[in-house]
Amino acid sequence: MAGDGEHRNKIDTHPHDGIRHEERDQVLAKLRAGTLKLYELEKVLTPIDAVRVRREFIAGETKTSLEKVGTFSIDIERVVQRNCENMIGAVQVPVGVAGPVVVNGEYAKGTFWLPLATTEGALVASVNRGCSAIVKAGGADVRILHDGMTRAPVFAVESIVHAKQVVDWVDTHRDELAAVAQGTTSHGRLTGIVSYVAGTSVFVRLEFDTKDAMGMNMVTIASAKIADEIAKETGARLVALSGNMCTDKKPAAINGIMGRGRSTVAGVLLSHELIAQVFKTDAPTLVEVNTRKNLVGSARAGSMGFNAHAANVVAAMFIACGQDAAHAIDGATCMTTIDLAPTGAYVAVTLPSLPVGTVGGGTGVGTQQECLKMLGVAGGGDPPGANAKKLAEIIATGVLAGELSLIGALAAQHLARAHKELGRGEKR
C-alpha cells in the first residue's frame, strides 16, 4: 500500500541524511578509539543523526544488520530526550485489537476497542471471545476501589526505642510532611503515611494522589524532601529513598493488600444460556475450574496471584498504551472469583495494583499516543485524574475478558485444541 511507505521513517531508506560522510566517518573513528562515548553523540549531532551513527557503530561492532531496528515512525527528538538513552532504533511489537467491549464504569462508559501489543499467538483471539461474552451480558461493571502511588524510604535508627520515637514523630507531623511534599509538585498530593519497623530499620510508606500521571517521578521527588525532613527532625539516618516497602516492580503482598496505583475491580453476570453458547460449558464447571486452578492451585504453589493469566492482558495493554512494562508484574496479583448465581455465574477480577497514567513517561510516544486516543484517554482528564482511572477501568475489563475466555476454554477442555488450530504449542 502506498500509505505504508509514506509513514516509514526516512532513517530506513536514507541512512545518512543530514550528515556528511566525512563527519560520520570522523565520529565513528572517535567511537572506535574510545575518545567519544556513545551517550555523547546527541551533544555533537542532531538526534536523528546520533541514532543513525550509533546504530551503524553497533552494527559494525556486533557484525549484525540492524536495518529492521532502524525502521520506525516515532518522534526521535522526543524519545531521546525523555524515554530512551543510547537509542539505535525501535523494536516493533504487533498490535492486535479485541472487541468491541462494553464497559459500565464510573469513568469508562460505553464501547471500546482494546489495543493489545503481543507476539503470543491466540492471546488477542482469546480476549476477543471474552469481550463478546461481556457484550452479550450487557457489559462489565467496573469500579476504582483505591488510588495512590507509593514510595517508602528506609531509615537506620540507633535502637528499637529510637525506632518508636521516629514512628511517633511521623504520626504527629503528617500535616507538616504533606506541606513539604506540596512544595515539590503542583499536581501530586500526599494522602497517606504508614510506618513499619524491623529492628533498627524504619520504613515510611508514603502514598500520593498523582492525578493522571502514573507518578513515580513525582512521588520520588516529593518523598526525597519528606525523607530529608524526617531525618533532620528525628536523627534517623536515611539509607535509601526506596526501601522496597513501596513495593515497585516486584511481586509483593503489601501491594495486594493495601493497593498501589489504581486498585480496580470488574465483574459480569453470565447467564446459563450465555455460558453454554459462548464457552460450551456450564456455570458449576466454571466455578470448579476457577476454585481448583486459580484459588487452590495458586495457594498450593505459593503464588501471590490467583488468576489464569491476568498479567498477559495487562502487559499487552501496557505496551500498547505507553505504560511502564515492568509494572505488568502488578497485574499478576489479580484475584479471579466466580460465584454461582440463580441465573448463571458472576465472574469478577480484582486488581489491587494497576500503576497506570495517561500523561508522562511513554504515553507521549507517537504510536502509544494513538492507542490511548483509541480509548479516549490521551492526556490529562477533566477533572484531573479521570483519564488515568478510565484507563484502569478499561484494562480491568480486558483482564476480565481474558480470564473468562481462558477459564471457559479450560472448563470445556478446549485449550489445547485452540492452540493447535492456531499452530501454537503454549501451555498455561
Q: Which positions are catalytic? A: 120, 324, 419
Are the C-beta atoms of residues 400 and 350 closer than 8 Å to each other?
no
Tell me which DSSP letter residue 262 carries: E
Cα gap 390→108, rounded to integer Å: 5
User: Any bridge partners for residue 112, and if so which?
Assistant: 101
User: Mapping DSSP to helix (H, G, I), strand (E, B) and coil, where does residue 170 land?
Assistant: helix
**How many Cβ atoms from other residues are within 10 Å of residue 418's Cβ?**
17
d(CA 112, CA 376): 9
Q: What are 403's three cell numbers?
A: 480470564
Angle at CA 152, nearest 5°, toward 150 and 155?
165
- Whole-angstrom distance, CA of residue 375 vs CA of residue 93: 19
What is the C-alpha separation between 241 and 170, in angstroms, rounded? 16
Q: Cα(first)–Cα(last) distance of the chain, in Å?
A: 38
Q: Which ranges constitute the DSSP H helices of 322-413?
A: 328-331, 366-375, 386-411
What is the Rg, in whole angstroms, of the alpha carbon atoms belonging to the chain? 25
Place of cell 526525597: 224
> CA nearest 251: which of 311, 197, 201?
311
List, as one string, the DSSP characters of 63-90: T---TTTT---S-HHHHHHHT-SS----
Q: Which residue has the cell 536514507?
A: 14
CA dist 111 and 101 (Å) reads 5
| Dihedral sign, Cα of residue 322, residue 326, residue 327, residue 329 | positive
- Cell 511534599, located at residue: 181
Give Cβ neighbours of residue 4 (< 8 Å, ≥ 6 apart): none
